[in-house]
């Protein structure tokens, strides 16, 4: 048995590791010159930081959190989003308003309740407006809650323009408990454990997959790889761009799913400062004065020096969308100076451009109005006896997360092997690790 895996992100490496541990031959083909895909750990000061996936969301009962323990990768808990936060809205919001923001956005807000009440609308924006009216949230507090739901949960967490997000998909999304873990040393620690000893060909962009014969044939610019089964884990954005030719073509159902689903955009600007100018008790900062750079995270305790990470979606901030990524640094610093006054120049600055990355074309998937989670389910079905698609976009319960990629990798390994994978190089694979990816 020989399995060819396309993509060396968390999904692809999980598949390859499980297949290798089962005794089968496996080769991983990766277009980038590095491992990790949309997890990307880079040096910062004396530490490191993740420019892509950075947390394990909802670690309670989460197989990825348990895998970190098995891999002996430590983690710190950033607690729940909207906790230990400060809110700026033309001045610092007082404690009751910040508390209302947290309670409404993370506890009281229930997309399924809004969906049932609206009876017919699939608009996330309509759901938020219904919620504000139903709870009689008006004035300053109402505006803060609207900001949190539309421009943080919508534009940042889902990485999509709020008016494009499906309310029904939001209602079916599974939010885990237990806060948000940050792996010690970044996701690179896990990536290195999963990839150790694997046959990974970096800088090897796949151009076509032939899967109609007795073998599957995967073609690159200059080489041909033949195997019994292939799993393609490239991001949805790459599938949508038509960068891979499939022969036979994807089924009508798979092609429709790729067309219906969408790729979100979440970018980061990372500043390492010579000194802290924000309160040590504050881990999250919301800038509710606009759509540019609305959400900041303090990563100082993870990096080892004063570090702020600004998360933003340039597609909802027209002034940013017109700027190349490197030119967004000035506006980001200006937002910090609006909130804090005197802000020193950073010692180090890193900006991301996932939307312009030809091996991603975006940050992670989401379900827009006009699509459904069934499109993700369809994407997860085998294309043929020899070809399967995998990755976070194939897991409707928690798309857009690293644990979705991990779960889809285990599921794909089960398909490739024809049986449940029993081991990773980290150790045994408990049956419940596959439950959420079935």
Full 3-state SS string of the chain: CEEEEECCEHHHHHHHHHHHHCCCEEEEECCCCCCECCCCEEEECCEEEECCCCCEECCCCCHHHHHHHHCCCCEEECCCCCCCEEEECCCECCHHHHHHHHHHHHHHCCHHHHHHHHCCCCEHHHHHHHHHHHCCCCHHHHHHHHHHHHHHHHHHHCCCCHHHEEHHHHHHCCCCCCCEEEECCCCHHHHHHHHCCCCEECCCCEEEEECCCCCEEEEECCCEEEECEEEECCCHHHHHCCCCEEECCCCHHHHHHHHHCEEECCEEEEEECCCCCCCCCCCEEEECCCCCCCEEEECHHHHCCCEEEEEECHHHCHHHHCCCHHHHHHHHHHHHHHHHCCCCCCCEEEECCCCCCCCCCCCEEECEECECHHHHHHHHCCCCCCEEECCHHHCCCCCCCHHHHHHHHHHHHHHHHCCCCCEECCEECCHHHCHHHC
Q: What is the average per-residue pLDDT within 237-264?
A: 97
Residue 341: the pLDDT is 94
Domain end position, chosen among 283, 316, 351: 351
**Domain assignment present for 58:** no
Q: What is the pLDDT of residues 63-88, one digit of tens each?
A: 999 999 999 999 999 988 877 888 89
Could you give the number of structural domains in the chain? 3
Same domain, 281 and 257: no
Cα angle, residue 106 at apex, residues 105 and 110 outer, rounded to 5°: 80
Supply the pLDDT for residue 339: 95
Tokens of 355: 């939307």
Domain with residue 325: its CATH number is: 3.90.660.10
* 358 domain residue, yes or no: no
pLDDT at 317 (0 to 100): 92
Quick one: 393 and 338 in the same domain?
A: no
| pLDDT above 70 coverage of the chain, percent | 97
**How far is 111 from 117, CA to CA, in rounded Å?**
10
Which residue in the block uniquely carries the two structure tokens 């029993």?
422
- 197-244 confidence digits (pLDDT tens): 999 999 999 999 999 999 999 999 889 999 999 999 999 999 999 999
* Residue in this structure with the two tokens 């620690």, named with its chain if needed: 189
pTM score, whole prediction: 0.95
Q: Is residue 59 part of a domain?
A: no
pLDDT of residue 85: 85
In the prediction, which pLDDT does 436 show? 53
Both 239 and 291 in one domain: the answer is no
Query: C-alpha angle with apex 290: 285 to 294, nearest 5 degrees?
Result: 30
CATH of the domain at 412: 3.50.50.60
If asked whether residues 298 and 325 sit together in one domain, one would say yes
pLDDT value of residue 204: 98
Using pLDDT thresholds of 50, 70 and 90, give the confidence band for residue 324: very high
What local confidence, expressed as pLDDT, does residue 138 receive? 85
State residue 99's pLDDT score: 66
Residue 296 lies in a domain: yes
**Residue 284 pLDDT exceeds 80:** yes
Residue 80 is predicted with a pLDDT of 80
Residue 51 lies in a domain: no
Respond yes or no on whether the N-terminal peptide bond of residue 248 is cis (omega within 30° of 0).
yes
Residue 56 lies in a domain: no
One domain for residues 125 and 259: no
The sheet carrying 206-210 orders its strands as 224-227, 216-220, 206-210, 245-247
pLDDT digits (tens, 9 = 90+) for 336-362: 999 999 999 999 999 999 999 999 999
**Do 168 and 25 fall into the same domain?**
no
Average pLDDT of the chain is 94
Across the range 47-71, mean pLDDT stands at 96
Q: Are residues 208 and 322 in the same domain?
A: no
Looking at residue 119, what is its pLDDT? Answer: 87
292 in the same domain as 338? yes
Choosing from 104, 137, 172, the residue where a domain stops is 172
Closest CA to 111 of 103, 120, 122, 101: 122
Domain, as residue range, for 25: 2-39+66-73+184-263+368-437
- pLDDT class for 318, splitting at 50, 70, 90? confident
Q: Are residues 248 and 285 in the same domain?
A: no
126-157 confidence digits (pLDDT tens) = 999 999 999 888 888 888 889 989 999 999 99
| Pairwise pLDDT comparison (114 vs 318), residue with the higher score | 114
pLDDT at 438: 45
Q: Which residue has the higher pLDDT, 291 or 10?
A: 10
What pLDDT band is residue 102 in, cutting at 50, 70 and 90?
Answer: low
What is the β-pairing status of strands 206-210 and 245-247? Answer: parallel
- pLDDT at residue number 105: 64
User: pLDDT class for 106, splitting at 50, 70, 90?
Assistant: low
252 and 271 assigned to the same domain:
no
Query: Same domain, yes or no, for 373 and 231?
Result: yes
Q: Which of 319, 351, 383 is the last residue of a domain?
A: 351
Residue 225 lies in a domain: yes
Q: Does any domain span residue 83?
A: no
Same domain, 254 and 372: yes
């Amino acid at each position: 048995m020989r399995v060819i895996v396309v993509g060396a992100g968390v999904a692809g490496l999980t598949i390859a590791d499980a297949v290798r541990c089962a005794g089968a031959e496996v080769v991983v083909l990766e277009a980038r010159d590095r491992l990790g895909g949309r997890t990307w750990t880079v040096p910062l000061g004396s530490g490191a930081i993740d420019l892509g996936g950075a947390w394990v969301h909802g670690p309670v009962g989460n197989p990825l959190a348990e895998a970190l323990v098995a891999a002996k990768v430590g983690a710190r808990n950033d607690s729940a989003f909207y906790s230990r936060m400060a809110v700026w809205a033309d001045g610092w919001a007082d404690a009751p308003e910040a508390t209302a923001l947290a309670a409404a956005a993370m506890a009281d807000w229930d997309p399924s309740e809004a969906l049932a009440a609206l009876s017919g609308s699939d608009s996330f924006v309509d759901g938020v407006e219904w919620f504000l009216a139903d709870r009689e949230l008006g004035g300053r507090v109402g505006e803060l809650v609207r900001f949190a739901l539309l421009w943080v949960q919508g534009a940042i967490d889902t990485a999509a323009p709020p008016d494009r997000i499906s309310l029904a998909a939001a209602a079916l999304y599974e939010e885990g408990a237990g806060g948000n873990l940050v792996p010690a040393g970044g996701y690179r620690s896990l990536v290195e454990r999963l990839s150790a000893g694997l046959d990974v060909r970096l800088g090897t962009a796949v151009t076509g997959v032939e899967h109609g014969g007795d073998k599957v044939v995967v073609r690159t610019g200059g080489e041909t790889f033949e195997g019994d089964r292939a799993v393609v884990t490239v991001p949805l954005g790459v599938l949508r761009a038509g960068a891979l030719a499939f022969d036979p073509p994807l089924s009508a159902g798979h092609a429709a799913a790729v067309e219906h689903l969408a790729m979100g955009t979440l970018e980061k600007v990372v500043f390492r400062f010579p000194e802290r100018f924000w309160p040590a008790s504050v881990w999250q900062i919301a800038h509710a004065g606009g759509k540019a750079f609305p959400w900041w995270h303090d990563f100082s305790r993870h990096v080892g020096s004063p570090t702020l990470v600004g998360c933003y979606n340039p597609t909802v901030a027209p002034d940013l969308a017109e700027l190349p990524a490197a030119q967004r640094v000035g506006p980001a610093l200006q937002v910090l100076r609006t909130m804090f006054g005197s802000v020193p120049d950073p010692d180090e600055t890193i900006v991301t451009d996932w939307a312009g990355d030809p091996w991603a074309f975006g940050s992670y998937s989401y379900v827009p109005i006009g699509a459904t989670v069934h499109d993700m389910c369809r994407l997860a079905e085998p294309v043929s006896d020899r070809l399967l698609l995998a990755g976070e976009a194939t897991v409707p319960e928690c798309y857009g997360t690293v644990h979705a990629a991990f779960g889809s990798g285990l599921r794909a390994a089960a398909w490739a092997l024809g049986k449940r994978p029993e081991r990773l190089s980290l150790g045994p694979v408990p049956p419940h690790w596959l439950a959420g990816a079935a």
